[in-house]
Structure 1
Amino acid sequence: MSDDLKKIYQVFDPAPLLADETDLYVDLDAVRGSSGLVKKLAKIIRLSDSPTCQLLAGHRGSGKSTEPWRLQGELESGKEKFFTVFCEILEDIEPNDVDFPDILIAIIRQMADQFRNRLGINLKPGYFKTRWEELKSFLGRDVDLTGVELNVGLAKFSTAIKSSPNTRQEIRKNLEPRTSSWIDAANDVISDAVLQLSKKNYVGLSIIVDGLDKMTLRAHPQVGCSTAEYLFAERHAQLTAFNCHLIYTMPIALAYSCRERDIANLYGYTAPPVVPMTMIVDTAGKRNNAGFDKFKELIRKRLHKTGTKEQDFFKSNSTRDKVIKYSGGQPRELITLIRDSIIEGELPITSSSVEKVKRKAHHAYARQLREEHWAIIEQVSKDNKLSRNEKNDHLCMELLDNRAILLYENGGEWYGVNPLLPTPPSSSKLKNEKKR
């Protein structure tokens, strides 16, 4: 296998771009209908004297995870710089089972880690250290926490929380009655952090918690709502209790659920900010050249980094355009389709390779979707609207979460069916199946 092919494959990595990968970044604001989102989030922080808590939603693959990295760069530049901790929450928690105590430990652990690694500052553990022995039993008798630093001690608990369901429940059970005390402990550490930052010419501290948008949507075992609703609504008081600026990513299905108004009111929004998809075609199915051009630029930038000419990469322009169309305006899906097409055949990528990848996506969705999903999908395909009510809300949340239905905001909010979905069962077939 040639080194050139390896470079090409690796540059088409669907992982979110990091702050220093500006050479690959393409600004999609104009074709997503989300103009200036990063600057707006930063503006709220810069204009506020007291701590703020903001939410950011978006489809997986919309480019949402790149926006927090841009926000970090925005906040850490200019005359008034905020040291910004980027907390990749999935390093510490299990997305299938998330609760506030896990998040608290993860935030403080990653904050202490980044202060040490980026600034050379060891934050004082304070109250946390006095609780080491009490929680030590969850880690095994052979664990010695004497003299450990804050980030190291909390890392041991994060590992236990993520890897063992039983240990996770026991730690939560121990922490839950003392939640307010643990929040106070976290704020003691944050106060020390802000003091240390002032000595390095930072005006404050902000923490971006990325990854909660990927939490699994399922019924909470104790309360009558989803785990996402429980965390962002019922745990609102705890999520907003930290004495610094916070931005949490949240599941798009929750942002567009029947609880949307409750969430907006709790966090002080007219509506939670959302990163929508790039418009590739309009509501009539007509090609949107501006969206296509941006995705062509996204491809060209990655090819340029490897020194590859576009005509040597795609068999034809129509093959390239087919990949863009099948992406549905999802940047990550575009990159994934290209990567899978590289594996499926030889370069240049052919239409046949792209179609094989599309068929695999068809089969994957066919296994996911149930009969009751198809009625909603067919309605969206007809009028580009997602009609929700208490009865079908959970189905709509599932379709948004698995990206069977995609959100667009160009010229007003509208919805489209993912081009990678298989051909839907006919309406007559659905009706006959319902009669059985």
Structure 2
Amino acid sequence: MTIDLRKFFQATNPSKTLVVANPEDRKYYIDFSSVRGGEIIEELKYNITFLSPDDPTCFLFTGHIGCGKSTELLRLNKELEEEGFHVVYFESSEDLEMEDVDIVDVLLAIAYRVSQSLDKIVLEEPSKLNKLLQGVWNVLNSEVTGLRVKPPEVPGLLKLGDLGFTSENQKLTIAFGFGEIITRVKNDENLREKLNQHLGPKKTELLEAINKELLEPAIAKLKLQGKKGLVVIVDNLDRIDSRPKPWGRPQQEYLFVDQGESLTKLNCHVVYTMPLALKFSNEYGNLTQRFSEEPKVLPMVVVQQDGSDYEPGIALLRQMVLARAFPDLDEKQRLEKISEIFDSPKTLDQLCRVSGGHVRDLLRLLNTWIQKERKFPPLSRQTLEDVIRSRFNEMTITIYDDDWELLRKVKQQKKVSGDQGYQKLIRSRLVFEYRISNLLWFDINPILADAKELQP
């Protein structure tokens, strides 16, 4: 079997998330759990399916952006569905303006996605939700037109401005209402402010209405159909901006600490992604008091330990790269094909090593390498070094003297503290977290290893 160069290049697209339920994507999937902290997805599944299948649970899931969280959550989605649960997975960035997120926005997005997913289930008329949504629409419409919308004349019908919408299926009306409101406010700061001014004081009422008129009736109907329960997976919430709210509170701390209790009040199983920087915030202790479980962390794939290569981690990264080139071969057969892609096995190992075990960074380096290599195959060590140097230059532009001092400490001590500076290093992927069994340590991004500022 010879390599399909174009398909190999496309398979290394760092922006593509693997959907393990898709048979083609499944060929690319590598299970890294043995070299980055254990079976985190298995733990989440066990908690939901065995320990608390009938009681609401709430989990936080975090890690560096691009480390593979979405792929693992989609794996969780697939396995929970196989266990008989109805799963609603969505990327919150599609519904929310990540620079300006409030608790009301998150609750509305969840309610919208759940109601949208229940296309074959008819629920009782949700009178409280209808009333709340009509009130929201009146406020938003008055902001746009200067006029109040006349309340709907048909009981239970949500009339949205001039868009009138009718359906015998009441649930479909509510889904449409949620969707219209989310669409209108996402790209309009003034409307978002109006929405939160109106619904913020009614947060408890909104939560109760979502639970009593949507989630609980839906779960009851799902169980009658043979389902075991409802799970909502809210991805990309780890991408919310760290900028402060108007009153000075950092947005991430506001949502997950100040409003953390509300995030736990939905009467179904919920998994939220959380910004990794919060793990190193002075508010982390308060955050863990809001949630019954500490956040689950997906660390980097271990590629070095105590200054030496960690062969199990590098071996799995080799397989990840080779699977993109030869998805239909087994592990042993792939290894025999290294020379068809790289000028030597050591060159492939250097790619794995310099990635620091960050999956998306590895794919980004490889994808750029393929583009720059004019005589491919094989991919040459010299071109890889050019790509690494280019990436080094990009990264160091934003590193200041104080950052270098912190990076030197991380390199020496293999740990970080709750200092704001360390939060920046984590957000910028200048420092990575690693775990094996009960061992936990931090280290600098290997791209920076030869920086003169880090030399003794």
**What's 1:404 paired with?**
430
Q: Which residue of 2 aligns with 1:19?
A: 20
Equivalent residues of 1:276, 1:408 under 8 A apart: yes
Matches within 5 A, 1:108-147: 108-116=111-119, 120-121=120-121, 126=126, 127-137=128-138, 138=140, 140=144, 143-147=162-166
SS, match of residue 89 in structure 2: strand
Counterpart position of 1:232 = 256
Aligned with residue 303 of structure 1, among 322, 325, 342 = 325
Structure 1 segment 125-274 matched on structure 2, within 5 A: 126=126, 127-137=128-138, 138=140, 140=144, 143-147=162-166, 149-187=173-211, 188-223=213-248, 225-269=249-293, 271-274=294-297
- 2:78 maps to which of 50, 59, 73: 73
Per the alignment, residue 169 of structure 2 pairs with none
Query: What TM-score do you get using the length of structure 1 for normalisation?
Result: 0.88
User: 1 CA distance for matches of 2:224 and 2:121?
Assistant: 11
Once residues 418 and 123 of structure 1 are traced to their aligned partners in structure 2, the CA distance between those partners, rounded to angstroms, is: 52
1:314 aligned counterpart, secondary structure: coil
1:4 Cα offset (Å):
3.9
String of CA shifts for 1:18-65, please: whole Å, max 9, x gaps.
131322111111111x21211211222231242111111111122222
Q: Is the 8 A contact 2:20 2:74 kept in 1?
A: yes
1:433 aligns with none
How far apart are residue 310 of structure 1 and its match?
3.5
Task: Please state how far the C-alpha of 1:241 moved relative to its aligned partner.
Answer: 1.1
Greater Cα shift, 159-168 or 330-339: 159-168
Contact 1:314 1:350 in 2 (8 A): yes
> Which of 355, 365, 368 is the aligned partner of 1:340?
368
Change (3 A) 1:5 1:161: farther
Residue-by-residue CA offset, 1:332-357 (whole Å, 9 max, x unaligned) = 11111111111222322222332232
1:92 CA drift (Å): 0.4
Q: Label 1:8 to 1:143 Cα distance change in 2 as closer, same or farther (>3 A).
A: farther
Q: What is the deviation of 1:122?
A: 5.4
> Does 196-205 or 312-321 show the bigger shift?
312-321
Offset, 1:426:
3.7
State the distance in 2 between where 1:143 and 1:283 align. Answer: 66
Rate the CA distance shift 1:97–1:356 in 2: closer, same or farther, 3 A: farther
User: Which structure 2 residues correspond to residues 313-328 of structure 1 after superposition, within 5 A?
Assistant: 313-328=341-356
Counterpart residue number, 1:418: 445
Does the 8 Å contact 1:328/1:419 carry over to 2? yes
Aligned equivalents of 1:313, 1:367: Cα separation in 2: 32
Shift of 1:9: 1.9
Change (3 A) 1:399 1:236: same
Give the Cα–Cα distance (whole angstroms) in 2 for the partners of residues 190 and 292 of structure 1: 44
Separation in 2, partners of 1:62, 1:209: 17
Q: Which residue of 2 aligns with 1:62?
A: 67
Is contact 1:125–1:150 with CA below 8 Å preserved after alignment? no
Against the structure 1 CA distance between its residues 214 and 125, is the aligned structure 2 distance closer, same or farther, given a 3 Å change threshold?
A: farther
Q: Does 1:383 align with 2:410?
A: no
The C-alpha deviation readout for 1:203-260, integer Å capped at 9, x for no partner, is 211111111111122233314x421111111101211111111111111111232222
Letter matched to residue 237 of structure 1? E
Provide the secondary structure at the position in 2 that maps to 1:305: coil
- 1:378–1:424 Cα contact (<8 Å) kept: no
Taking structure 1 as reference, are residues 196 and 427 closer, same or farther at Cα in structure 2, changes over 3 Å only? closer
2: CA distance, partners of 1:280 / 1:428 = 21
Alpha-carbon deviation of 1:424? 4.3
User: Could you tell me whether the CA contact under 8 Å between 2:98 and 2:241 is conserved in 1?
Assistant: yes
What RMSD over aligned residues (CA atoms) do the two structures have, in Å? 2.4
The amino acid across from 2:137 in the alignment is: K
| Structure 2: distance between partners of 1:399 and 1:124 | 50
Amino acid at match of 1:99: D
| Structure label with greater radius of gyration | 2
CA contact (8 A) 2:404 2:453 kept: no
- The SS at the match of 1:51 is coil
Percent identity over paired residues: 28
CA gap of 1:12–1:123, structure 2 versus 1, over 3 A, is farther
CA contact (8 A) 2:35 2:435 kept: no
- Give the secondary-structure state (helix, strand or coil) at the position aligned to 1:299: helix
Q: Partners in 1 of 2:79 and 2:454 — Cα distance? A: 50
* Residues 4, 124 of structure 1: alpha-carbon distance in 2 compared, 3 angstrom cutoff: farther
- Quick check: 1:61–1:332 contact (8 Å CA) kept in 2? yes
Q: Does the 8 Å contact 2:67/2:360 carry over to 1? A: yes
Q: What is the 5 A alignment of 1:367-382?
A: 367-382=397-412
Post-superposition offset of 1:129: 2.8
* Count of residues in correspondence between the two structures: 414
1:9 maps onto 2:6 in alignment: no
Contact between 1:362 and 1:422, CA under 8 Å: does it hold in 2?
Answer: no
Question: Could you tell me which of 38, 42, 61 is aligned with 2:41?
Answer: 38
Structure 1 counterpart SS, 2:309: coil
Please report how far the alpha carbon of residue 365 of structure 1 lies from its aligned counterpart in structure 2 after TM superposition: 1.6
The 3-state SS of whatever aligns with 2:303 is coil
Q: Which runs of 5+ in 1 are unaligned?
A: 430-436
Aligned-partner SS, 1:219: coil
Q: Structure 2 vs 1, CA of residues 65 and 426 (structure 1 numbering), >3 Å: closer, same or farther?
A: same
The two structures have a TM-score, normalised by structure 2, of: 0.84
Residue 366 of structure 2 is aligned to residue 331 of structure 1: no
On the 8 A contact 1:123/1:150 being kept in 2, the answer is: no
Residues in 1 aligned to 2:162 and 2:310: alpha-carbon distance in whole angstroms: 59
